[in-house]
Amino acid sequence: MLAEAWTLLILTLLETILNVDNLIFISLAIEKVPNALKERVRLMGLGLALLIRFATLFFTSYILSMQKPIFHAVSLNISIKDLLMIVGGLFLIVKSSIELWNNISLRKQIEKKIDIKSQLSLVVLQIISIDLIFSVDSLLTAIALTHNMVIIAIAYTSSILAMIFLSSYTAQLIKSSVSLKTIAILFILLVGVYLMLDGLDIELPKEYLYFSLMFALLVEVIGSIKKKVQCMKKKK
């Protein structure tokens, strides 16, 4: 009983940490959604994402079989999982590159009439699609720790609830600072590169991603403190 509780705690913490990239993506994805609908889209996307994660548990044997190579390319053995990682990585690279260009471009964006329902559906679809890709990797990580599906289901639920709680604060934080938004976009770009490399069987410890994020945030915090100190000196 104690061993299962310890496994549950470790897996929940691990799933929450692994959801950081998903959390940042969601915060960026809902940015263009009308303020009155952001909360609804966030909850809808995360709720469906949780259902997808539960669905993956019922197809665990199939998820595991996705690691078997289906064809060979040069010296690589490509599986269905690898294809998902490559496609997901390409999507994140393209989307983050477009967002980065829009963020740093000096040109004024031309306002276009957009169907709100279509826009909301697209955002929810993006959240679900990316979470599905992350779920495959997450499930394989969870199975490496335990084969108890109840523990994995509880860990999934806890991590999604943590995302629901933190997503609004993360979105507000990113929106409050141009530099934080740039850091978030670049992080998603790195996640896309990581997924592509993973799909190509090139191992890159994911700790590097979180280290780069923490380093960038540390630089931002130090810069903010420095600006406040300079402002206080000027007032004196």
Three-state SS sequence of 119-173:
HHHHHHHHHHHHHHHHHHHHHHHHHHHCCCHHHHHHHHHHHHHHHHHHHHHHHHH
- Alpha helices (H) along 19-148: 20-29, 35-58, 60-65, 80-104, 116-145
Per-residue pLDDT of 18-57, as tens digits, reads: 677 777 887 787 777 777 777 787 777 777 777 877 877 7
pLDDT over 60 at 108, yes or no: no
Q: Residue 110: pLDDT band by 50, 70, 90 thresholds?
A: very low
pTM: 0.76
Share of the chain above pLDDT 70, in %: 86
Question: Is the Cβ–Cβ distance between 163 and 20 less than 8 Å?
Answer: no
Paired strand residues for 77: 72
Cα 235 from Cα 31, distance rounded (Å): 35
Q: What is the mean pLDDT of residues 119-124?
A: 75
Q: Residue 112: pLDDT band by 50, 70, 90 thresholds?
A: very low
Q: Residue 74: pLDDT band by 50, 70, 90 thresholds?
A: low
The pLDDT of residue 213? 81
Cα 88 from Cα 67, distance rounded (Å): 16
pLDDT over 60 at 207, yes or no: yes
Helix (H, G, I), strand (E, B) or coil at 113: coil
Cα 93 from Cα 105, distance rounded (Å): 18
Cα 26 from Cα 33, distance rounded (Å): 11
The pLDDT of residue 121? 75
φ and ψ at residue 76, rounded to 5 degrees: -100, 145
The pLDDT of residue 113? 47
Cα 112 from Cα 217, distance rounded (Å): 34
pLDDT over 80 at 216, yes or no: yes
Cα 214 from Cα 67, distance rounded (Å): 31
The pLDDT of residue 1? 63
Q: What is the mean pLDDT of residues 71-92?
A: 78
Q: Residue 139: pLDDT band by 50, 70, 90 thresholds?
A: confident
pLDDT over 70 at 118, yes or no: no
Residue type, 23: L
